[in-house]
Amino acid sequence: MPYIQIEVTKHYPTETKKQLAKAIGEVYSKIMQASVKRITVTIRELGEGSIWRCGEDDPVPAAIMMCDIREGRSRETREILSKKLIEICNEILELEVNQLNIEFTQHSGDEMYHQWMGHLSKDWSTDED
């Protein structure tokens, strides 16, 4: 954890997806004060017509990012992260302004296991690197 998933309607070259994962990892690690080694990013290319945002008029094409994270970060920190993630995705994936929404699901540390750590995670704290 964190597990960051983005679902989009276009297809991208592997190098673009790698660039996106690196940028997300760096930004998340810095803003959320967590080791970059914890971060997993998935990019789901669902194809044209697969994601829609409903509204008063016809639905419009959308993108969604789900962030499964350890609980403990403030609302303000998650908002700063959201704005930066949207900026990165709009630039690298060339998403339209207002196309991407971000949702957070927060977990206690013991709900995730990293093989490289060899144990369940600890809860997040401000003194983590």
pLDDT in tens, the chain (129 residues): 799 999 999 999 999 999 999 999 999 999 999 989 989 999 999 999 999 999 899 999 999 999 999 899 999 999 999 999 999 999 999 999 999 999 999 987 777 777 777 767 777 777 775
Tokens of 78: 């998650």
| Strand pairing category for 119-120 and 113-114 | antiparallel
pTM, full prediction: 0.87
Tokens of 51: 């994601």
Q: CA 16, 26, 94: angle at the middle one, nearest 5?
A: 35
Give yes or no for a cis peptide into 2 (omega within 30° of 0): yes
